[in-house]
Structure 1
Amino acid sequence: MFKKWRELSLTTKVMVGMISGLFVGILVRMLFEGNAFVANYITDGFFYVAGQIFITSLKMLVVPLIFTSIICGTCSLSDASTLGRLGCKTLALYMLTTAVAITLAILAALLFEPGEGANLEATSSFAPGEAPSLGEVIIRLFPSNPIEALASGNTLQIIVFSVLFGISIAAAGEPGERIARIFESMNEVMMKLVALMMNLAPYGVFCLMARLFTTIEVGAIFSLLKYVMVLIGVLLLHVVVTYCLLFNVFTRLNPIVFLKKMEDAIMFAFSTASSNATIPVTMETVTHRMGVANRVASFTVPLGSTINMDGTAIMQGVATVFIAQAFSIDLGLSDYLTVIMTATLASIGTAGVPGVGLVMLAMVLQQVGLPVEGIALIMGVDRLLDMIRSAVNVTGDSAVTCIVAKSEGALDTTVFNNPEAGLKEEEIDFHHIR
């Protein structure tokens, strides 16, 4: 049986872990609800600790992976104009898809009216933050202390510093070449570490799903079923129509093949509910499974995990209309345009971590004068929906990465069209270690 398990693909193993965790979580909830021993030592003990160790281990890879891969990619570029062109294309596509996402969300919510006649009352408040101005967003891109940016995991500041450092290496001549070889070796080591962590993924996913379904309020999902269905519908529509259409138009490649190869990254994003934690898997997917050159993927994927929040933007659009309808507040065209602009700009610099969508939603509601305490209405179902949104976000990151890579001649179509590319799991040999 152990041999058969080892022969399964990573996708199958993660799927088994996810489904097993779901059923175990529901079973524990049904049989041991209110049991202090199970709650303390199983649900909040083993499941919680093992799941958090898995997520923390993934996050551990993010900063060194971004730092080394961007430096390797940047110092290999022929000139600075290539980097500028790459950045403009990537940023334009991310902002376009985010604006389309929230527009689709608002239109769908207005059409299906998920909050109409709800007559729900807020039971708690949610303190909003101030939406940063565009000038502040730009200023925050540049680190005053790069070591602090690396230590705190500030993705955008790490990207800016890594790009500048990589350009300097390329311009330094022979000394730069020596430094470049060091970072290339570090990048190879990081990819080995990613391969090692992938072997532990099914067990981490099992613990995450088991704990989630022992704590999630299933009743809240049914009470807000219309809101949940509209939101999930728009998320799927955005993937199938927006991403696949853009992908096919700009790359002339099969979007079905693209979605098939996204399986691992989608499941990781779903189980962790974090675009940032999924960066190592997304990088592995677009480079080894789809044939994107590292010099492109190392820039577009980390950038996308921070500013490409299409799933979150869709939630904000549907939730804004839902809350307005639930409180019987009419919004005009200018209000909806404000929502689109605010949500699109607020996505820049917002960390791709669980729960961040609610903070951004508070900013959006504040801009159009809606009661921020309306967030209490959707808090009960947001954790599950956050998992789906994260899966949509990483799909968008990968689609834009492939589009930009194709336009730069950095996408190997032979690898992309090969269904076996990148499927072989890497065995880590520890026998030579003394």
Structure 2
Amino acid sequence: MKKFGMLTQILIGFVLAIVLGAIFGPKIAVVQPLGDLFLRLIKFIVVPLVLASLVTGITSLNNVNKLLSIGGKTIAYFMATTFMAVVIGLVVGFAISPGKGLDIEMPTQNAEKTEIPGTIDTILNIVPVNPFESLSTGNILQIIFVAIAFGIAITAVGEKAKPLANFFDALALVMYKITGVIMKFAPIGIFGILAPIVGNYGLEVLMPLLKVILAVAIACSIQLLVTYSIAVRTMGKMSPITFLKGIAPAGVFAFTTASSSATLPISIRNAEENLGVSKEVSSFVLPLGSTINMDGSAIYQGIAVVFIAQFFNVDLTFANIVTVVLMSILVSIGAAGVPGAGLIMLTMVLQSVNLPLEGIALVAAIDRILDMFRTSVNVMGDASAAVVVQNLENKKKSA
């Protein structure tokens, strides 16, 4: 298997799960411990991974002045467009309903036994009373709040807090390494999760996947052609056509490689040469964006949550939807730079609304296809931020 790429390995595991599940039926449940182990490993890395990567992302701003000026504008823009992205994903998900139409009753005991808090309680519960308790119990929303507080405070303190910043940097690197190792077992984990589902419920459980791809493609197109176009026109004072032409090389490269980091040099060159962004702004906004701005991934989270909820016959309440919006925004920062970030992010979002993690197996085989769409949107979103911040900085200097 080592000679095959990760995508090929996952597809092999996916196909084997379908074939063997169909052949052996319920007897294939003997492999379920493999899937359970993979899910436990994913849960094992979530808490330290979110804490370390988010603190590191915030402290990379270096100083408070930059945070309040370019950094403040950039982060505000990222949060706004990510909010729009997950809302678009949810709207398109509900409109297309990729998980409906299946006459299958899946077990949803966890969702039924868990009392869902109201919207106000959900928002209040983001702030922890005891951060150590939040870490020990794995409360993702509260952990993200703690990480943001630590990151901003470390940046404000400056040099004296450098050892703490270095600690989180090292912890983040260690967690990325552990995550990389765990993701190598993804094909086996996917097989262990999916094969028993196919064995118990048949091949028809795979039918909604084409609708998931269609939903992600439509939502990403809306984010690009509507959200970014309006932003660069109104706040960046640039023609959307000029913007799209200027950043197209980076967008195409991102689509083919599915890597924001690999696309970064092309993004910086396109922004400076084609979009008129200064080196000061491009060298700050674009690297930061490649780390914490994941609009395409937020779209994916919204659609995947709707798909999995519909598939498992779970009705999402308004409080659930608010939680999905908040979590999709926050984990787009917390899971940044992680191999297999899409699956990691989806795990955290599903946990926040008590949806079965087994649903991850249904989208894992097409994750690479979805990753191409969402990475391209991520990169173009970073470029739109650079254009907007550049224009706002120009206005500030001329005022």
**Bin for the TM-score computed over the shorter chain:** 0.5 to 0.7
2:242 corresponding residue in structure 1: 257
Alignment of 1:28-427 (within 5 A): 81=65, 84-119=68-103, 131=140, 132-140=143-151, 142=154, 144=163, 224-352=209-337, 355-409=340-394
User: Following TM superposition, by how much is the alpha carbon of 1:338 offset from its aligned partner in structure 2, in angstroms?
Assistant: 0.6
- Summarize deviations over 1:126-173 as a string: whole Å, max 9, x none: xxx86333122442575637777778886xxxxxxxxxxxxxxxxxxx
Does the C-alpha gap of structure 1 residues 257 and 318 become closer, same or farther in structure 2, counting only changes over 3 Å? same
Please tell me the root mean square deviation across aligned C-alpha atoms, in Å.
3.6
Identify the residue that residue 31 of structure 2 maps to in structure 1.
none
Checking the alignment, whether the CA contact within 8 Å between 1:221 and 1:228 is kept in structure 2 is no
Once the two structures are TM-superposed, the CA of residue 401 in structure 1 deviates from its matched residue by 0.6
For residues 249-299 of structure 1, the C-alpha deviation after alignment (integer angstroms, 9 at most, x for no partner) is 112211111111112211221122121222111111111222211111111
Distance 1:278 1:352, change over 3 A: farther
Q: Does the residue aligned with 2:333 lie in a helix, a strand or coil?
A: coil
User: Does the CA contact (< 8 Å) of 1:275 and 1:353 recur in 2?
Assistant: no
SS state of the match for residue 383, structure 2? helix
Structure holding more helix per residue: 2
Residues 36-88 of structure 1, C-alpha deviation per residue, up to 9 Å, x if partnerless? xxxxxxxxxxxxxxxxxxxxxxxxxxxxxxxxxx99xx9xxxx9756622111
CA distance in 1: counterparts of 2:171 and 2:271, whole angstroms: 26
Q: CA deviation at 1:232?
A: 0.7
Q: 1:80 to 1:112 in 2, by over 3 A?
A: closer
* Distance (Å, rounded) in 2 between the aligned partners of 1:230 and 1:279: 27
The separation in 2 between residues aligned to 1:302 and 1:119, in whole angstroms, is 46
- Give the secondary-structure state (helix, strand or coil) at the position aligned to 1:378: helix
Q: CA deviation at 1:95?
A: 0.3
Does the Cα contact within 8 Å between 2:98 and 2:208 map onto a contact in 1?
Answer: no
Distance in 1 (CA, whole Å) between partners of 2:259 and 2:163 is: 27
Aligned-partner SS, 2:217: helix
Provide closer, same or farther for how the CA distance between residues 252 and 339 of structure 1 changes in structure 2, counting only shifts above 3 A.
same
Q: What is the TM-score when the length of structure 2 is the normalising length?
A: 0.61
Cα distance change on mapping 1:389 and 1:221 into 2, 3 Å: farther
Q: Which segments of 5 or more consecutive residues in structure 2 lack a partner in the other structure?
A: 1-59, 107-137, 155-161, 174-203
**Residues 148 and 369 of structure 1: CA distance in aligned 2, closer, same or farther (over 3 Å):** closer
Report the TM-score when normalising by structure 1: 0.56
Residues 105 and 313 in structure 2, CA contact (< 8 A), matched pair in contact too: no
Measured in 2, the distance between the counterparts of 1:398 and 1:130 equals 33
CA distance in 2, matches of 1:365, 1:80: 34
Q: By how many angstroms is 1:311 displaced?
A: 0.4
Measured after TM superposition, the shift of residue 342 of structure 1 is 1.0
Residues 188-213 of structure 1: per-residue CA shift (max 9 Å, x gap): xxxxxxxxxxxxxxxxxxxxxxxxxx
2 CA distance for matches of 1:375 and 1:153?
24
> Given that residues 237 and 391 in structure 2 are in contact (C-alpha distance below 8 angstroms), is that contact kept between their aligned partners in structure 1?
no
Q: 1:102 to 1:83 in 2, by over 3 A?
A: closer
Q: Give the distance between the partners of 1:153 and 1:258, measured in 2 at CA.
A: 34
Aligned-pair distance for 1:237? 0.5
**Contact 1:354 / 1:386 at 8 angstroms: preserved in 2?**
no
The answer to whether the Cα contact below 8 Å between 1:221 and 1:381 also exists between their aligned partners in 2 is no
SS of structure 2 residue aligned to 1:278: helix
Query: 1:409 Cα shift?
Result: 1.4
Distance 1:223 1:379 in 2: 13
After TM superposition, give the deviation of residue 110 of structure 1 in Å. Answer: 1.1
Percent of residue pairs bearing the same amino acid type: 39
Amino acid at match of 1:369: N
How many residue pairs get aligned? The number is 274
Q: Structure 1 residues 150, 280: CA separation in 2 closer, same or farther (over 3 Å shift)?
A: farther
